Amino acid sequence: MSGRSAYQDSGFVRSIKKFLLSAFVVFTFVAYWLHERQAKPATPAAGTSLPVAGIVPTTADPASAVTPTDSPAAVDPAAGAVPTDTLPAPTATQPPAQAGLYKNGTYSGPEVNAYYGLVQVQVVIQDGKIANVAFLDYPHDRRTSQYINSQAMPWLTQEAIQAQSANVDIISGATLTSEAFIQSMQAALQSARN
Amino acid sequence: MKQTRLLMGMPVTVEVVDPWATEKTLESVYDYLGYVDRKFSTYKPESEISQINRDELPLAEASDDMKAILTLAEQTRQETDGYFEIVHNGKCDPSGIVKGWAIQNAAERLRQAGFANYYVDAGGDIQVSGRNAQGEAWRVGIRHPFRPDQIVKVLSLQDCGIATSGTYVRGQHIYDPKNPDRPITDIVSLTVIGPNVYEADRFATPAFAMGAAGIQFIEELEGLEGYMIDRNGRATFTSGFERYVLHA
């Protein structure tokens, strides 16, 4: 009889253990999820480079610095893979822009969740045009973000081109059919005649 | 035996290394390309494509070659998610696919005639076969986008095709069919190497139209490799491209 009782006890204890273990696992998942959700990137400095798509040039690079433009959409080359909704919306602290014009100053957009993390953009307006775009915040410290960043172009490699004049048999390059040119020129010559 | 002629509005160079090649050999290649040009040139009012565009020739009565090209163009359009498009402003202009197809067919005629070492180059799109006069793989340069007299890469190619799309020769000549007004400015040159020039050429144009995403598109296509150059002189190339590069 005692043996049976011991068996029952141990079965009961095992159930409790199972329950506690399950609860612990579930709790850990929830805690981790909350932690991941609330974790904020560690305050990167303004103007830091943006490795979002791998191919995207840094905003600090003068060659790729955003040229003055009238349209926020034209910021795209520097913004790269960042969704366009991360472009700064005028905030309440800023004077409202007049129709079709920007006021000079430095504007910070809100932090926007770009699915793989938060993105915050700062825009500098000079002479009524966008003079620079800096990223105050971008996804970089979370494993998922880094994974996506590094996966954007998983197998591609980059290099700076180097001019050379090596001896080759053939050259591949873009050509345009010159027929349109010839035809146009012929027509022009035709009309040039009296 | 090597010759260059102006055909289809571009320089077309044919070189056959095999010693039994004659003038007639090259003549047959040019004859074929001339036939293709007469049939598919939208600049020639009497061409079959011009007749179709004027609604003078029903598609059902079109030649087999015309039907083949229209079928291949539609297939390519579907394979490129609509980035390859031959209908512009209501007119059909299949030149984006005819060129590679014609070079490929011309090269195939040389092969069927028993030649093994040759290339056909029509305006920078090339089919190479076998070896050059020195008995080595063909040395093919990729033209420098900003210095046309120089190259940026030397490739070692045998039995494959290469095609380059770009904006640099006469300004913009490719546009994004999905956004016709959007200039393609971020990418200046995209070179594609494929199993033959037809495959390389038909994907080079739509991939170029995709902008910076084009090289990823090439990466994902089986058997194709690519070398893309952006306006800042930065190149991005696919995972298997390096094996074609000849290092000095």
Minimum mean pLDDT range among B45-59, B83-97, B186-200? B83-97
Minimum mean pLDDT among A24-28, A32-36, B243-247: which range? A32-36
Which H or E run contains B28?
Answer: helix B23-40
In the three-class reduction of DSSP (H, G, I as helix; E, B as strand; rest coil), residue B221 is classed as coil
B140 pLDDT band, cuts 50/70/90, is very high
Cβ proximity of A189 and A181 under 8 Å: no
Alpha carbon dihedral B159, B115, A171, B176, in 10-degree steps, equals -60
- Strand pairing category for B91-92 and B118-122: unpaired
Split at pLDDT 50, 70, 90, the class of A55 is: very low
Q: How far is B200 from chain A (nearest CA, A)?
A: 12
**Is residue B9 predicted with pLDDT exceeding 70?**
yes
Nearest CA in chain A to B189: A174
Looking at A84-176, list the stretches that DSSP marks H as alpha helix, in order from N- to C-terminal side.
143-151
Residue A75, both tokens:
């910021």
Residue A87's pLDDT band, with cuts at 50, 70 and 90, is: very low
CB contact (8 A) between residue A172 and residue B162: yes
B154 phi and psi, to 5 degrees?
A: -115, 125
Q: Which of A85-99, B80-94, B215-229 shows the lowest mean pLDDT across its residues?
A: A85-99
pTM value? Answer: 0.61
Residue A157 near residue B127 (C-beta atoms within 8 A) = no
CA distance A102 to A34: 39
Q: What is the largest CA-CA distance in chain B?
A: 56
- Averaged over A86-90, what is the pLDDT? 43
CATH topology of domain B2-244: T-fold (3.10.520)
The B residues from 30 to 59 touching A (CB cutoff 8 Å) are 41, 43
Contact flag A163-B144 (C-beta cutoff 8 Å): yes
Q: Is the pLDDT of residue B168 over 70?
A: no
- A160/B151 Cβ within 8 A: no
Say yes or no for a CB contact (<8 Å) between B119 and A173: no
What's at A148, amino acid-wise?
I
Beta carbons within 8 Å of A176's beta carbon, 6+ residues apart: B169, B170, B173
- Find which of A153, A161, A164 to mutate to test the B interface (most B CBs within 10 Å of its CB): A161
- Give A124→chain B minimum CA distance, Å: 23
Asked whether the predicted pLDDT for residue B175 surpasses 70, the reply is no
Domain limits, chain B: 2-244
Whether B143 and A172 lie within 8 Å, measured CB to CB: yes
Report CB contact under 8 Å: B232, A155: no
Res B161: pLDDT: 98
Kindly report, residue by residue over A136-175, the tens digit of the pLDDT.
Answer: 554 444 444 344 444 455 678 889 999 988 899 999 987 5
Residue of B nearest to A78 (CA): B186
Average pLDDT, chain A: 56
B166 in A contact zone (CB under 8 Å): yes
Residue B62 pLDDT greater than 90, yes or no: yes
User: CA-CA distance, A157 to A146, in Å (whole number)?
Assistant: 18
Q: Which chain B residues in 173-192 lie under 8 Å from chain A, judged by CB atoms?
A: 173, 186, 189, 191
* Cβ(B157)–Cβ(B196) below 8 Å: no
